[in-house]
Structure 1
């Protein structure tokens, strides 16, 4: 900078070189500011017109792409993500996108996420399939295993019965007891005698243990955790993230 000032002092009178210096500094600072303002203005005009994406959307896209690129489960485990047999599910059996959701029916974050998940699945229809697997964390939620077993007992009486029951379970999450599980089964319009027999038998304890073991194997440590075509997402989810995660594989 001293050499720069000396150049102007030697070439121009004092008042003039000061004006020239101010002009040069204004150009150096002003041109980048004008460029940034123009870029910002263009960016938000694109967003308003629907031709651009917001910073949040860009972050979501990068996050999803990163999760897809960094799948840690091996191919054998990925092939076993969707379990065999009678499981809770929504969407098409031949859908190109499979979503496997590990749930704890006593988890507040799972409860928070389910309305968004249901809304997106209703909108996407047969282009994706959602499958529920159990991950009751009894250390945090002592009733979670019984609730998971009750949900499977209701599933015996049909998918529609299960989804009605699931909604009731989350709605009454804070007041769950053995009697409440039975009452909610009645409210869900299932055969309560069959439900009672199933609960006494504890015939789904092994299946719940298998889900827990497999979940831990593929990196599940809390709920909700869901896998979209093998890519793992953890924590609460809103409609935007869930939609983008599925659309990533549809586009």
Structure 2
């Protein structure tokens, strides 16, 4: 399956925009498997440096992870204040505590304007962004989290550090 839609300026992109490898993760902030993948992605980013750009798209599985949707909206709300990745990281680093009160504390810790953040948490526009990510995942063949796409193609291999790094390094040699 291929990524639908392709990565655009509307996505949250971390790393070199012109990188040789594009890694997209559809993830759920409350998913334990995504929590396991979080440090692996960080390791890959460190190892590959400017050869990798990383994109995270929201895919909250609300039926089994009741706090995932609000956590995704919180990350989008932080984005409005230029702190998307800071919120993304603090949420994954505190994945067991994603109630609204926790998210407000994380917003305070990363230096957000709290009244603005609280207003944005209720924004239907931000809920729509999360839903658009989810729908794009469905169109792209995502049925669980995390699901990775490498250079626009669904990745079906292991995302354990050694195997994933070997695959990405082989992609670099082809590029």
Settle same-fold status: TM greater than 0.5. Answer: yes
- Match of residue 67, structure 2, among 143, 146, 149: 143
Contact preservation (8 Å) 1:225, 1:235: no
- List, as ranges, runs of 4+ consecutive aligned residues in structure 1 with deviation greater than 4 Å: none
For 1:84 and 1:163, the matched residues in 2 are separated by 15
Rate the CA distance shift 1:214–1:224 in 2: closer, same or farther, 3 A: same
Give matches, 1:71-110, under 5 Å.
72-73=1-2, 77=3, 80-85=5-10, 87-110=11-34
Aligned to 2:17, what secondary structure does the other structure show? coil
For 2:38 and 2:163, the matched residues in 1 are separated by 13
- Unpaired runs of 5+ residues, structure 2, are none
Rate the CA distance shift 1:93–1:157 in 2: closer, same or farther, 3 A: same
* TM-score relative to the length of structure 1: 0.64
* TM-score relative to the length of structure 2: 0.90
Answer yes or no: is 1:163 the counterpart of 2:88. no
- Unpaired runs of 5+ residues, structure 1, are 1-71
For 2:68 and 2:15, the matched residues in 1 are separated by 26
Number of aligned residue pairs: 173
Give the deviation of 1:235 after TM superposition. 8.5
Rate the CA distance shift 1:135–1:83 in 2: closer, same or farther, 3 A: farther
Indicate the structure whose relative CO is greater, using CA pairs within 8 Å and at least 6 residues apart: 2
Give the deviation of 1:238 after TM superposition. 2.4
For 1:92 and 1:205, the matched residues in 2 are separated by 28
Contact preservation (8 Å) 2:74, 2:87: no
- Report the structure number with the largest CA radius of gyration: 1
Give the deviation of 1:233 after TM superposition. 2.7
1:46-77: CA deviation from partner (whole Å, max 9, x where unpaired): xxxxxxxxxxxxxxxxxxxxxxxxxx33xxx5
For 1:84 and 1:206, the matched residues in 2 are separated by 17
Q: Which residue of 2 aligns with 1:244?
A: 166
